Amino acid sequence: MATPTPRVRVPAKAKKGEVIEIKTLISHDMEMGTRKDADGKTIPRKIIKLFACTFNGKEVFKSDWQPGISANPYMAFFAKVNESGTFEFAWHDDDGSVYKASSKIEVA
Amino acid sequence: MQSSARRKPNRVAGAGARRIALIGAAAGMLGGALWGAAGPAEGQAKREAPLALEGPASPVPWKRYADWPKPSWDNFNTLAKTDASPPAPKPEAVRKIAEEIKGDPAQGQKLVFDRSRGGGCLACHAMGPATAGAQVGNVGPDLSEIGNAGRTDEWFYNYIFDARVYNPETVMPPWGAHGLYNGEEIRHMVAFLKTLKTPVKYRSDADNPEKRPVPKEDRDNLDALVNPGMWAVDKAKELWSAKGPSGGACVACHANPEAQFKTWAASMPRWEQRLNKVMGVEEFVFRHAKATTGHSWLMQSEQNLAMAVYLRHIANGAEIKVDVTSTPAKAAAARGHQLMERKIGQLNFACLDCHAPAKGALKWIRGQWLGESKGQIPHFPTWRTSRLEIWDIRKRFQWCGVAIRANDLPPDAKEYGELELYLTSLNNGLKFNVPGIRH
């Protein structure tokens, strides 16, 4: 499988107190651990088990993911912004890898 | 000689290659209007791109994709093999049925509804009230009241066994003659058909093929958060500067591909004299990258697909304009047209049986809408949400084959090239919108 690539979309600008939509997507097979390969051997589980988002270091969104989550998981959520800063995103893989992305927003 | 001084060497050496190069240069001048859009910045529009001419552009021997149906239909025609299928019957060669057919209608119904042997009758026909919720198709007539039509048992039997004895132009598969059902099974089906005397009442328009809404693709195919096909564009941009075994990279000669190839892909596929066949974007990517960088990006590899998507993506908005006027291109397109009329596979379909509006196109085969030949090319390569992968047009051809029980050919087969050229010429004037997204 290709290296997972995260993609995020955060508005570049917002008004103070505005509720903005954040869209994220990561390319990932999300191998559920129950499928078998052509030789009948179980393909080991490899999923992203935790997705978290922080704003200026403070947690704003976090979710545990399970084997039923689709390949290339898309996650959109809303956040209220009161100040300019940086959203940081982290996808935690079963094998310990963490894929990261970040996006700045300017609040007027 | 001057040709060796101005051209990078390709794999074919000697006088023969130079002669071909000169012919190619002359053809390039004749086709100047076509290439003019590439602009003087390129400065090499009239110079032939170096190609690795030796060997195939896809894996050999070609093995069907691991997650595709396994069977092989060696006893039936393919686009490359015309003498495998049993010959069509003579128009008058009706099988005599002297006595009344006494089959079991219940068994017949089971066979008619069974999807495992070529899709079943409901793919094309409604068959009475029992089929109201079966998402029937309408390529063939509604048979719900065929039992009232006064048809003989012999007519029923022959129509299923091989309808060509009554209508040589039919698109109906010869179920008996091609071994999909045996005589006894067909007798059960006849018995079932004779019981059909009541019109079908659909529960909703979605069940009714005459009223079912036509699918419309309105997802934003150029948004990477909507269409994973767009990821190939990022991948290709990485590959553009990736050095191959011979030290070269695309970027060395093509520093600004988005300007240089603004219309290039819209002129593909084209007749390639050096290969004596039609060459599409994918085969070009393999042979050109091999000759210039040493990369071995075989057709259907991740890299090849990424490049094929990218080169068409940067031509988005360009009008498709393939050449079918030069003598060899015209002849190749004519062969492509013939291929679209060639009956292949156990189900004995030609491309046009399903994709010409006069035949099956713009109708339903079960719940699937059959598109016409025009309008398919502009969105390929396309992301298949049902397969989670990018399909180029050659893979689409291969799948069509397997779906009608005809062996697939290697992606670089010359027949696919001719088919692609003719099909693309039908799409001339339409604009690219790549990568597409389809279910």
Are the CB atoms for B7 and B21 separated by under 8 Å? yes
- The answer to whether A72 contacts B228, with C-beta atoms less than 8 Å apart, is yes
* The pLDDT value given to residue B118: 76
**pLDDT value at position B31?**
36
Instruction: Tell me: do B49 and B5 sit in the same domain.
Output: yes
- In this prediction, residues A55-84 reach a mean pLDDT of 95
Determine which of A5, A31, A32, A43 to mutate to test the interface with B (most B C-beta atoms within 10 Å). A5
B330 and B263 in a single domain? The answer is yes
Same domain, B134 and B226: no
Whether B66 and A38 lie within 8 Å, measured CB to CB: yes
Q: Where are the domains of chain A?
A: 6-107
**Closest CA in chain B for residue A1:** B302
Q: Indicate whether B353 and B420 sit together in one domain.
A: yes
**Quick one: how far is CA B59 from the chain centroid?**
19
Tokens coding B8 = 């990078």
Is B95 part of any domain? no
β-bridge mates for residue A103, sequence order = A87
Assess if residue B213 is contained within a domain: no
Residue B96 lies in a domain: no
The pLDDT tens digits for B249-301 are 999 999 999 999 999 999 999 999 999 999 999 999 999 999 999 999 999 99
**B93 domain residue, yes or no:** no
Q: How many domains does chain B have?
A: 2
End-to-end CA distance of chain B: 54
- The stretch B409-431 carries a mean pLDDT of 97
Q: Domain holding B361: CATH number? A: 1.10.760.10
Residue B332 · residue B420 · CB < 8 Å: no
Report how far Cα A16 is from the mean position of its chain's Cα atoms: 25
Last residue of a domain, one of B178, B207, B236: B207
Of A2, A7, A38, the CB nearest to B225: A7
Q: Do A27 and B231 touch (CB under 8 A)?
A: yes
Residue B8 pLDDT class (50, 70, 90 cuts): very low
Radius of gyration of chain B (CA): 25
- B377-401 residue pLDDT tens: 999 999 999 999 999 999 999 999 9
Residue B140: the pLDDT is: 95
Among B231, B384, B387, pick the best mutation site for testing chain A contact (most A Cβ within 10 A): B231
Choose between B13 and B65: higher pLDDT: B65
Closest residue in B to A73 (Cα–Cα): B225
- Check residue A1 and give its pLDDT: 55
Residues B305-344: tens digit of each pLDDT = 999 999 999 999 999 999 999 999 999 999 999 999 999 9
Q: pLDDT grade, residue B2 (50/70/90)?
A: very low
The residue that leads in pLDDT, B14 or A57, is A57
Q: Which residue of B has its CA nearest to A25?
A: B225
Examine the domain organization and report whether B203 and B250 are in the same domain: no
Specify the amino acid at residue B360. G
Q: Based on the domain organization, do B158 and B48 belong to the same domain?
A: no
Rounded CA-CA distance B304/B395 in Å is: 13
Percent of chain B with pLDDT over 70: 90
Contacts across the A-B interface (CB distance below 8 Å): 17
- Are A2 and B302 in contact (CB < 8 Å)? yes
Tell me whether residue B215 is in a domain: no
Domain boundary, last residue among B140, B172, B207: B207
**Chain B: residue whose CA lies nearest to A7:** B225
Beta-bridge partner residues of A80 = A19
pTM, entire model: 0.85
Does the distance separating the beta carbons of B225 and A5 come in below 8 Å? no
Determine contact, residues A80/A14, Cβ cutoff 8 Å. Answer: no
Domain assignment of residue B99, yes or no: no
**B177 bridge partner residues:** none
User: How far apart are the C-alpha atoms of B173 and B398, rounded to whole Å?
Assistant: 19
Show residues of chain B in contact with A5, CB under 8 Å: 231, 234
Contact between B135 and B127 under an 8 Å Cβ cutoff? The reply is no
Q: Do B228 and A27 touch (CB under 8 A)?
A: yes
Is B366 a residue whose pLDDT tops 80?
A: yes
Mean pLDDT within B26-31: 38
Q: Give the pLDDT band (50/70/90) at residue B19.
A: very low
Q: Which domain holds residue B352?
A: 1-87+220-439
pLDDT of B230 strictly over 90: yes
Assess whether pLDDT exceeds 80 at residue B29. no
Residues B263, B315: contact at Cβ < 8 Å? yes
* Mean pLDDT score of chain B: 89
Q: Where among B181, B207, B233 does a domain terminate? A: B207
> Which residue in B231, B234, B388 is closest to A71 by CB distance?
B388
Would you call B225 and A38 a contact, using CB atoms and an 8 Å cutoff?
no
Structure confidence by residue, pLDDT tens digits, B192-211 = 999 999 999 999 999 999 99
Residue B355 pLDDT > 90, yes or no? Answer: yes
Nearest to B379 by CA among B401, B396, B362, B400: B396
SS3 A102: strand
B159 compared with B46, residue with greater pLDDT: B159
* B279, B171: one domain: no
Nearest CA distance, A83 vs chain B (angstrom): 26
Q: Are the Cβ atoms of A27 and B388 closer than 8 angstroms?
A: no
Residues of B with CB under 8 A from a CB of A: 66, 224-225, 228, 231, 234-235, 302, 388
Is residue B168 within 8 A of residue B91, CB to CB? The reply is yes
DSSP state string for B338-389: HHHH--BTTTTB-HHHHHSTTTTTTSEETTEE---STTSGGG-SEEETTTTE
Instruction: Enumerate residues 6+ apart whose C-beta is below 8 A from B238.
Output: none
CB A24: neighbour CB atoms within 10 A?
23
Confidence band (pLDDT; 50, 70, 90) for B119? confident
- The strands making up A18-26's β-sheet, listed across from edge to edge, are A6-9, A18-26, A74-81
B-chain residues near A70 (CB < 8 A): none
pLDDT tens, residue by residue, B35-82? 434 433 444 446 789 999 999 999 999 999 999 999 999 999 999 999
**Superfamily in which the A6-107 domain is placed by CATH:** Immunoglobulins (2.60.40.10)
pLDDT (0 to 100) of residue B46: 63
- Chain B: give the shortest CA distance to residue A67, in Å: 17
What residues are paired with A36 via a beta bridge?
A: A42
Statement to judge: residues B281 and B386 lie in one domain: yes
Residues of A in contact with B224 (CB under 8 A): 7, 25
User: Is the CB of residue A80 less than 8 Å away from at least one CB of chain B?
Assistant: no
Per residue in B88-116, pLDDT (tens digit) is 999 889 999 989 999 999 999 999 999 88
CB contact under 8 Å between B225 and A72, yes or no, is no
